[in-house]
Amino acid sequence: MYEKSKALYERAQQFIPGGVNSPVRAFKAVGGTPVFFEKAKGSVLYDADGNTYIDYVGSWGPMILGHAWPPVVEAVQKAAERSTSFGAPTELEIQLAELIQQMVPGLDKIRMVNSGTEACMSAIRVARGFTGRDKIIKFEGNYHGHGDSFLIKAGSGAMTFGTPSSPGVTKGTAQDTLTANFNDLEDVKRLFAENKGEIAALIIEPIAGNMGCVPPAEGFLQGLRDVCTAEGAVLIFDEVMCGFRVAPGGAQQLYGVQADLVTFGKIIGAGLPVGAYGGREEIMKVVSPVGPVYQAGTLSGNPLAMSAGLALLTELHNNPGIYEDLEHKTAHLEEWLHRVFKHHEITHTFNRVGSMLGIFFCEDEVTDFASCSKTDAELFGRFFHGMLKRGVYLPPSAFESLFLSNAITQEQLDHTVNAADETAEEIAHLAQQKG
């Protein structure tokens, strides 16, 4: 069934570390051989062996209207005919910046970059330059890319200088990164009190997408807003995953809380490699060439990504009913998966915000990294492979959110539910045999 994928994986390991260019693709969290894909259209993926799958990853979020959406394909083709890169300004950059500013609250200025990681790294640097402070607060279980400042393990209170969670991250960097518990405002206040006048910024995924889908508790984001205002720290919303997905204006619009800086990722390029950061003018004025904080990129604002992003975001801006459709489809999937798991007596809980859905095989509510960690990752791996062989592609990790596209049909949702029913029955039968 996966012979060509297996052969490609063996070949890839000869030239690429682990055979993949991003770790989650290696299937280490779920076991087995990673699937190699050849093409996709709408909500369907086609692998190297000719198998097809209903896609619930969507390139980790940006394919909100489905793969190879015709207006995006046409925009990229036309842009490529004019050149794939100039390394110089184009009107496309202005047009996309104007459109994003119309859609997202509080973006006085915006700077295009090449990835969500780069956007978050740049936002932190800008916040430090603006405040003249060094320390930042991040949250356990939130992922902001692989920048050194973000790869810090949450240590115990006894670990005075913090502990890097990846070799290559210096202890000095670890010392300047403080880690708080998600949805725990008192923990944040404690860190501010213990580091008075030293914290430049607090960065958060307002809707966590890298420990499954974990929404903010009621009042939590406003509490962070109030604390950062009182302490003179820059509040950064990392909306790489939830930006333009949960609402046209992202989490800021959904929850009515405005950050000082916001970061975006590949959705603003309809899945092409791109990112952006922006926010209040007084902060963005420190960015070179206006101010002293240097940040640059030859491919920033490249015409392919700008053209694709314009096509996608224009559609989202002009047709907000898309979000109602996505809400309906995702709520339907959540309801029927709940019925399936309950019928087969599989312990589970769900978190959902719009078209982001987290599936957890644990009993308690998931509100932070500690409760997320209680999910049965081994059970998820069995569920993942059961769904895969039935033509449903889920994120290959128990700690990632599902992303639905508006291209998905009721027939595909029904197929997904039936596949889940068969898989759950298989899992329950195996559990009875072992028991």
> Catalytic: 266?
yes
Per the residue annotation, which of 176, 238, 260, 421 is the catalytic one?
Answer: 238
> Catalytic: 9?
no
Total Cβ atoms within 10 A of residue 263:
30
> Catalytic: 238?
yes
* Euclidean distance between CA atoms 330 and 423, whole angstroms: 20
Which are the contacts of 431, defined by CB distance < 8 A and separation ≥ 6? Answer: none
Secondary structure (3-state) at 67: strand
H or E element that contains 139: strand 135-139
Which 8-state DSSP code applies to residue 345? T
Q: Each residue of 48-65: b (16+ CB within 10 Å) or e?
A: bbebebbbbbbbbbbbbb
Among candidate residues 305, 325, 318, the one with its CA nearest the CA of residue 405: 325
Total Cβ atoms within 10 A of residue 383:
24
CA distances from 343 to 116, 338, 359 (A): 40, 8, 16
Per the residue annotation, which of 266, 277, 393, 421 is the catalytic one?
Answer: 266
Residue with tokens 């068969």: 422
Q: With the C-alpha atoms ordered 370, 374, 377, 378, is the resulting torsion angle positive or negative?
A: positive
Angle, in degrees to the nearest 10, between helices 185-194 and 220-231: 10
Per the residue annotation, which of 9, 53, 143, 323 is the catalytic one?
Answer: 143
Active centre residues (catalytic): 143, 238, 266
